A and B are shown apart, each in its own frame.
Chain A
Amino acid sequence: MIEMRLLGELHVVRDGLAVPLPASRKSRALLAYLAATARSHLRERLCEMFWEGPDDPRAALRWSLTKLRTAVDPHLVATRNHVAFECSDAAIDIRGLCLPATATTDVLEECATRFRGEFLESLDLPGCFRYQQWCVGERERFRQAHIAILTELTRRHGVTEAALRHARRRLTIDPFNDHAHAAVIQLLSSLGQNHDAMQQYEHCRQLFERELGTRPGEPVEEARRRIGRQPMDATTPANVAAMQPAPAILQAGKHVAPFVGRAVELDAIGAATGPTLLLGEPGIGKSRIIEELLLRATGPTFSGRAFAAEMVRPYGVWTDALTGLPSESDRTRLFDAVVQRLKGTTLVAIDDLQWIDEASAALLHYVVRTANVRILCAARSGEVDDNPHARRLIRDLRFATIAVGPLDEADTRALAGDDDRVARLSGGNPLFALELLRSGANVEAAPITAIIAARLAELSGPARELVAWAAALGRQFDVETVGRATGMAAGEMLGALEKLERSAIIRPAGDHAYDFVHDLVRAAAYQMATGPRRTLVHRHIARALRETHDPDGALAGDIVHHAWLAGEHALACEAAVDAGKRCLRLFAYAEATNVARRGLQIAESLSGDARLTVEMQLLYVIVMSRTPVRERIPYAGRIAESTETARRNGLAKTAALGAHLLACLHEETNDYSGAAEATKQSAESSRGADSATAALSMATSARCLLVLQRDVSRAEELLAQAQAIGIPSHELSLGLGYLRAHQGRAQEAAPLLEEAFTIAASKQDHWREWIALTRLATLALEQGDTQLAMQHCARLHPVAAKMHGGSEAARAAVLESVARYAAGEKVDIDAALARLREIDSKGDLAWVLSYLAQIETDRTRARSFATEAVQAADAVGRQSESVIARIILGQPAKASRDISARARSFLKEKRNGRTRTRTIL
């Protein structure tokens, strides 16, 4: 018989024994989802729910099912298309929860004991939106069921300690309910504990004032008035005990636990030559080994830690290394700047690698390969498999993996101060041992999370209040932000922080921040606030962060997280746009896409024009991220639909942005007709919208088409649209110059090409300088101005000299030879042609040969030039040169819409029976 416990942390029990579950959160969440829903699911839907993204979702699902099968066989039923959890022979705690009104008291008590915590406690997957939404909804449903059961039990037990226990429990999960507070106050008062009743009222009043900005409602006031009619009892022994501060286990100021044992691990680390990874379960001491090695290092060190996935923090691991770096033009330069900064560092230590983000992983990859520095990382075994970036790093960089296991008995005893009980209960897990020590005597065998939770439960007053806020902020938290979010007075807050520090719950991390001693402690502290209180905490944090001066948008990712959990969907979406744009600036494209996708999911809760506007901004982030185009193209439908709606609703700017995004996508997939259509739409509705990028990409496409002599009419249209946007650029001038030259409007073409050259030179864009100058030179030759052509050729050489690896120098020399030859100078033109053939530049060859065929006085040579020109032009599809050369040869030549005005005039003359001098051979 298998038993599934979903209320509280997920547990599977078979024949009375706990079944070990996969360390992978996603695998555990999948099992919980299958068991809770108790129906068959399409594999495809499960993939969408848990593995949406670029990796192979079906393979990930197969892997997870394999891991789960060993734990819950034979309940897991997987066919080719469906997966289900067969529940008929399994006991699942959420099944058969009683109806409070009709159940007997015994049944109600039994149901109440099933709630060991909130539904699927700690099993959040903020990156999997669909799962998370389902989980949050179910959590609330079961919270309400729990409240109903506890309320009924409180009522049935009358004025008894049992009733008070249930009432207090209800209060922890329903802290903003007047009736819940009133029930506790009344019971305390009725039981003669008037001092406690008054304290409870005071606590309620402060809570409501600080967190809701209101006073408690009438039921609470009524309960208070009733206390006033009874004598106060402030000095019972129990009440005095409750007011004592919790004992501090560690000495104040001693933030780091003693380092014991680990000789084997240290030897293995010392022996490793490449990057090294410490793998082990949470609390086993990986971070402590890293801390020790950082302390022992003889030179400068760098340490960083990855953040849990729910926070969008690109380069989260490298925050300190990136601070103050100037903005760079590409990712490699940014990485180089970091490597430069790490120069001289002897050890780079990265903790919690299982949470590393794509950008941090890419940078770590780069650092490992380029910087001569020792790399030491640590990760939770099992969980690391959930993170594709971490998996890839470990595989690609061939990390030497060192398993960190439990301390042996002697070392555990050394850590536990020879306390046999602690040594035995902890099983060699150092965090467990320390937590047992801090909890004091009389602690029974329990999971480490329960030990930590019990210790936190002993906190009282402002320290208890503060710890939940700090935990919601994250592993490391800034004192100022906590202060702003809680609204606590400075003195009160400092006292609370000091108490938490003395209790070894937090420790200082820099001048203005604190750090939880371990993430398990933070997670337990976070669980202290449930339901509506947690929502409120996140809301205040989101607002406090929004009001923080943050010109770079570094906090936007955190705001998304808090605002979303607070149900502040508009703020979350707005922050998602900011976070996405910041990721784009930092070339963190995977994070940009992730946060934008998350924003799009949240935006579904919005409505009207606000939703349309924010959605388009989020789609902008997705389209502009340089992830493979196949991952972005599926958004085209949504963009088109939103663009249309925006247009109908008169949202010109949003519609223009949508059309621009479509143009970018079509262009990337070489769907020029789609691009032309979209850009046309963009230009129609863009006036005033930010379309610099659109204009640039349109001009680039247009010039490309003109050089290739393909779809010239489309190029013309693209350029017209780019011009309509009205943002000048060298690419636009270049495209227009090419177009005018193609149209035979040389007088207009030349200044445009000169303009393009000047702007390109100012931007050090040598490639476009080169294009502009070569077209100026060939244009001059076509116009018969050989002197001008030679002047342009002279300008080509220094540009070509700046371009490494290509054929530009050779082509410049050939063009100059052609100009001199045309000017009547004695030039070895055959050698120049041989050079062009050698570098295999058929487009140039076609133009040069067709030009030489026109000016050559020796008919045989001219014919030979023209023959080869046809071959070269046909090979690369240069229709104009092919037409000109064929006419020179007297061969049939077809007009097409894409040939140049010059080729057209050759055709016209031939049709009219006239011939150019020397041309018809």
Chain B
Amino acid sequence: MTRLAILVVVSLVASACGASTPAPSAPASPSGTPTPRPLEAVTFIAGFKAQANLPFVGVYVAQKRGYFREQGLDVTIQHSAGSGEHIRLLGTGAVQFSTGSAGDVMKRVADAGVPLVSVAVIGQRGEQAFAVRADSTIRTPKDWEGRLVGYKGTVSADYLALLKIAGVDRSKVREVAVGFDPRVLVLGQVDVYPVFTSNEPDTLNRLGVPVRLFEPWRFGVPSLGLTYITTRDMVAGRPDTVRGFLAASLKGIADAVADRDAAVEIVMGYAPGEDRAHQRYMLDAEIEAALTDLTRAQGIGATQRGDWARLQDVLAENGGLSKQIDVDQVFTDRFTKELYKDGRLVRP
């Protein structure tokens, strides 16, 4: 009843996003063959516009190649405008799967009480970095003192952690909200500009301004990147659905790693008008961030509790969380452990 009431309110939002929960349908089958079991309808909403973020790519490829249907799923793909509506839609049950960075997931759970669970960590390090022009005299974070450093939206916890680790006196750093247009770095309106490593560095390079990056993880700041997310209800009540969705999506990611050109071709079908070369840059960068010793041994998507605990600590110490939470409530590695054997995908 509660869910029904909530859905009444969010139905306009959901319909605006095109979210739907179509009735289960059976795939066409040749006459004479047994009727296949009905497909289970689920909706995936990517956390941003269509582009080559690796978790998105996994879903696009899985959809294109019929991997979801092999898992008994009829997946509808939607995209968020990037204002957090995908999280709200997950919270209402209007969609079943989405994406979000590990830090964001933790923050939504701690601050807003949204019952999210990360079920596979695709990006093994934070995607945010701080760019300076390649010809800048800034060599270390300590050099940021006396300079104009931009931030998007709010000053991030990994920025504050980086300042602490690098011994930067924050009172000497001039901080300014810069929005989301990297041309402020091109025009010299800021000395340091926050970027997503798989995105703006390429854009800036195309503008004729190559950059150097200060990536917090390289300085020892714990971080994790994009993850597949669902809700506690899904994990507890529909684990087979979650397992099937991940099996197909991770297979899609494996395909993308094996044949990047083919993956970008599929991405372009979802992102007409986007620059193909930029999408390839993004895919390459995200694959690099997904491949670590851990994932080479246990498969892309694998995670370990210690990373989440360290991430929580750094967020809590730097104002990124309103309260401590039980990290075991925020992520689970049970599905990736079931799906991989010796780093290779298997379907239980």
Q: Do A and B bind each other?
A: no
Partner-A contacts on B (CB < 8 A): none
Partner-B contacts on A (CB < 8 A): none
